[in-house]
């Protein structure tokens, strides 16, 4: 698309937001389904479109620190330190909220999650809107987050007035979510900025148990899941001797047994993060009975990748939506 066509489309997207509509926007992590965060009725459309439980709050996206005061009531010094280093970029901070923000955005909680994304199309769109935009990942709840426009469910595309195509998302896993609500900062979701880099800057963070939702229901239970059952393995003995199954591995040396399909990704965590949802999306279309994925170490981005894979491997699926 030419830069002129993109500018025209962004202008239409701004109009859509101002008329309380939904827009699919690219970010550097995954695609988002955006609405004006200051309009309850616009935000209600996000929850309906995604079939998202009303108790799961949304991230508010901003174009600059100047916009913080429309949504946040306090910005602690440690948060500022992180913002100076990592924004625009894949880190979300949970902070005390302004009471003027509609309750639906924060699921009635006294806190709000905010981030400044770095994707140039997202930033341009946010600047032109000059409104805070609530945007969850543009997937139906529990399913794979989209890193390409082609991953987005046709129902969501149809419900969004405008789809802004920003190409393949370069980080590929969602932002890290860090809460400043208690005295010690707490990692609510591992994501695009590694905990090691965060702790280097602001000291030790707590990592609450994964059985406690802490007002962040998005952090527990099945999520990021293809409809084909997925199993994480650490050793080839765990592969079945036969069957219609695929193996995803991170070294050409890892055995694949009798797999009917194999995907070998690079062993670099940045590459795995960028490719993993795309790989699962493609395998999910192949009519396989099972997908086996070799585990990787839980360090750096490996934490976020293993979090997504282990939640994708939880069996019970609660949400289904027909294609049309
Ligand atoms: O990379 C990302 O963060 C993407 C792009 C589109 O920005 N967005 C995204 O949004 O992943 P979503 O809605 O799929 O995930 C937001 C997570 C959920 O786990 C939610 O529970 C948590 O952030 N969250 C949002 N507001 C919160 C709050 N006030 N307190 C605690 N957790 C919150
Ligand atoms: Mg999501």
Mean pLDDT of the chain: 93
Distance in Å, CA 269 to ligand 1 centroid: 22
- 83 CA distance to ligand 2 centroid (A)? 22
**pTM, two decimal places:** 0.95
Confirm if 248 and 279 have CB atoms less than 8 A apart: yes
What are the start-end ranges of the H helices in the chain? 3-18, 40-50, 77-86, 103-106, 120-129, 154-159, 195-202, 269-284, 301-312
Picking from 128, 116, 130, the residue whose alpha carbon sits closest to that of residue 64 is 116
Place of tokens 């707490």: 186
Is residue 321 pLDDT above 80, yes or no?
no
Q: Which atom of ligand 1 is closest in space to residue 111's alpha carbon?
A: 29
Each residue's pLDDT tens digit, 32-53: 999 999 999 999 999 999 999 9
Task: Please tell me the number of the ligand nearest to residue 223's CA.
Answer: 2
Confidence of residue 209 (pLDDT cuts 50, 70, 90): confident
Place of tokens 């695929």: 246
The whole-number pLDDT of residue 318 equals: 44
What is the C-alpha to C-alpha distance for residues 261 and 28, in angstroms, rounded to an integer?
A: 29
Contact 102, 115 (CB under 8 A): no
Q: Is 281 within 8 Å of 144 (Cβ atoms)?
A: yes
Q: How far apart are CA 132 and CA 235, in angstroms?
A: 46
263-281: buried (b, 16+ CB within 10 Å) or exposed (e) per residue? bebeeebeebbbbbbbbbb
Q: Give ligand 1 pocket residues (Cβ under 6 A).
A: 27, 29-30, 32, 56-59, 90, 92, 94, 106, 109, 111-113, 117, 135-137, 174-175, 177, 188-189, 215-219
Q: Are 176 and 308 in contact (CB under 8 A)?
A: no
Nearest ligand 1 atom to the CA of 181 is 30
- Mean pLDDT check: name the lowest of 135-149, 210-224, 241-255: 210-224
What's residue 220's pLDDT? 64
Closest ligand 1 atom, residue 92 Cα: 3
pLDDT confidence tier of residue 226, bands split at 50, 70 and 90? confident
Distances (CA, A) of 237 to 68, 189, 245, 247, 249: 52, 31, 15, 13, 14
Query: Which DSSP string do the residues of 228-256 spell out, in sequence order?
Result: S-EEEESSGGGS-SSSSEEEEESSTTS--
pLDDT at position 1 is 76
Those residues with Cβ within 8 angstroms of residue 25's Cβ, 6 or more apart along the chain or in another chain: 13, 31, 32, 34, 121, 122, 125, 133, 135, 164, 166
Largest CA-CA distance found in the chain, in angstroms, rounded? 59
- pLDDT of res. 141: 86
């Amino acid at each position: 698309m030419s830069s002129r066509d993109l500018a025209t489309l962004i202008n239409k997207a701004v109009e859509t937001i101002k008329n309380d509509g939904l827009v699919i926007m690219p970010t550097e992590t995954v695609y988002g389904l955006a609405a004006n965060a200051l309009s309850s009725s616009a935000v209600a459309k996000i929850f309906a479109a995604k079939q998202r439980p009303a108790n799961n709050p949304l991230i508010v996206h901003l174009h600059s620190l100047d916009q913080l005061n429309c949504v946040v009531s306090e910005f602690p010094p440690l948060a500022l330190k992180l913002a100076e280093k990592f924004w625009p970029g894949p880190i979300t901070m949970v902070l005390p909220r302004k009471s003027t923000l509609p309750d639906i955005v924060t699921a009635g909680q006294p806190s709000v999650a905010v981030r400044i994304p770095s994707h140039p199309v997202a930033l341009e769109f946010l600047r032109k809107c000059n409104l805070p935009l609530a945007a969850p990942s543009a997937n139906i709840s529990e399913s794979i987050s989209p890193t390409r426009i082609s991953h987005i469910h046709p129902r969501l595309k149809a419900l969004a007035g405008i789809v802004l195509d920003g190409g393949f998302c370069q980080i590929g896993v969602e932002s890290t979510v860090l809460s400043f609500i208690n005295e010690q900062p707490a990692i609510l979701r591992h994501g695009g900025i590694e905990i090691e880099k965060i702790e280097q800057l602001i000291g030790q963070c707590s990592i609450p148990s994964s059985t406690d939702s802490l007002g962040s229901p998005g952090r527990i239970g099945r999520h990021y899941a293809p409809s084909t059952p997925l199993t994480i393995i650490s050793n080839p003995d765990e592969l079945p001797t036969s069957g219609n199954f695929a193996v995803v591995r991170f070294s050409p040396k890892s055995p694949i047994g009798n797999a009917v399909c194999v995907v070998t990704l690079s062993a670099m965590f940045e590459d795995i993060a960028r490719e993993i949802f795309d790989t699962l999306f493609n395998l999910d279309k192949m009519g396989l009975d099972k997908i086996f994925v070799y585990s990787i170490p839980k360090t750096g981005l490996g934490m976020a990748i293993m979090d997504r894979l282990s939640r994708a491997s939880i069996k019970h699926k609660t949400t289904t939506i027909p294609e049309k």
